[in-house]
Amino acid sequence: MQDITFAQFEAAIATGTVIIDVWKDDCPYCVQYAPIFEAAEAENPDITFLKFNLAIKDVTPTWISTYFGNGKLDAPATLLLENGKLINRKFGFMNAEQLASFLRLRSLNALYLEKGKLITAINVAHQSMRAIEAKDQTKLTDEDYLARGRAATEMEVAQATITQKLNPQIENLLALGVA
């Protein structure tokens, strides 16, 4: 795990999932949180774990307001970013279970995004079927019949994926709790 400076911040968060521990040397909660944060890194190899020491004085007001909203930066704080966008933040100390719950939000967010894409695909396929059905049925071509079959299959597969895969995963994460 590495400490980053503001100059390194933008490049470090640009892609993928990044979690940042905002800390300072004289903060007892930060010292207590450090081993919990480090243990979570070992359990989540697909996430980039970074530390940001507030003792480094290259923090700009723009950065503070972007990620902390209130214009005030304090420790401990934990930021969760996905492809450079803040998706969750928590101020204060978290124990191991609270941090695990905080990280589950990432999985929940990804599942909702996938579900949204599938719902969009269902809607597009449904519109395609309606356009074919609006035609004079006596003048349908083989391509029309094939397109209608493809659209019906796409809708069926997307709906099955939502009901059999995504919804149970979402329900499981919600049952576990998300910070």
Q: Which residue has the higher pLDDT, 65 or 106?
A: 106
Domain shared by 18 and 89, yes or no? yes
DSSP 94: -
- Tell me what the mean pLDDT of segment 130-159 comes to: 94
Which structural domain range is residue 54 located in?
Answer: 2-94
Residue ranges of alpha helices (H) inside the chain are 6-13, 28-43, 61-68, 96-134, 142-161, 167-176
Q: Which of 94, 124, 148 is the last residue of a domain?
A: 94
Domain shared by 71 and 143, yes or no? no
Q: For 29-56, write each residue's pLDDT tens digit.
A: 999 999 999 999 999 998 999 998 877 7
How far is C-alpha 18 from the chain's CA centre? 10
Give percent of the chain with pLDDT exceeding 90.
50
Domain shared by 88 and 134, yes or no? no
Instruction: Name which of 129, 124, 175, 135 is nearest 152 in CA terms.
Output: 129
Give percent of the chain with pLDDT exceeding 70.
86
Q: Which of 49, 71, 94 is the last residue of a domain?
A: 94
Domain shared by 138 and 168, yes or no? yes
DSSP 76: S
Q: Is 164 left (phi over 0), alpha (psi -120 to 50) or beta?
A: alpha
Q: What is the pLDDT at residue 93?
A: 95
Domain shared by 84 and 115, yes or no? no
Q: Which of 63, 94, 125 is the last residue of a domain?
A: 94
Q: In what side-by-side order are the strands of the sheet with 85-91?
A: 2-3, 48-53, 17-23, 77-82, 85-91
Domain shared by 40 and 70, yes or no? yes
Q: For 87-135, write each residue's pLDDT tens digit.
A: 888 889 999 999 999 998 888 888 998 999 999 999 999 999 999 999 9
Q: Total structural domains in the chain?
A: 2
CATH code, 35: 3.40.30.10
At which residue do the structure tokens 């589950």 appear? Answer: 104
